[in-house]
Structure 1
């Protein structure tokens, strides 16, 4: 029983080492850090924010965000830096620009094509005479 308790205490104590402990100047700065970390996609991981990812690159990016916040940069400056360095992919909400028009407008274009095809199909049915439809 003693061995079990010692093992349990050791396991619990090491779980705290896995969490990053950054010292922020204010709760607002910590909230901003978490917000930015959740808005940035890990360049290495598949569909994970840097806040959720355990990849070493994400750890580096989280630390970079922390350093930039401590240096006094605002959210927009940090996001712009990350976008300049890693491209639009790093942002979960990429801006509308000519290089990603397909990403933004393809769903709308497909929807319009489907609506036009349905209207044309219904229109053809209405134009067929009833006699031909019975044969």
Structure 2
């Protein structure tokens, strides 16, 4: 293992842990859609979810965003490195996915925060 690089087994452990986290937070998220999806996505229902749970439901949404993003990027990294075996593939894939991950995390955070703030004010 080169200094500063994360081993494949460590990434695999994170992948599994994030999969478990996703099962829990997606379950919570879907529980808010029960029994009627159409009724749960109305403006008043969205406001009541955010206001009733305040920090807890917002935290579930942020965890869902970051866990799904990280889980997906680790999986995509694994697939790309199985396809590409040229000399600098690992460095190139890692750098590209870090940039993509940071951009998506920033855009997702801004969108989610803006939505939450718009709903509660």
TM-score by length of 1: 0.25
Normalising by structure 2, report the TM-score: 0.28
Larger radius of gyration: 1
Q: Which one has more relative contact order, counting CA pairs under 8 Å at least 6 apart?
A: 2
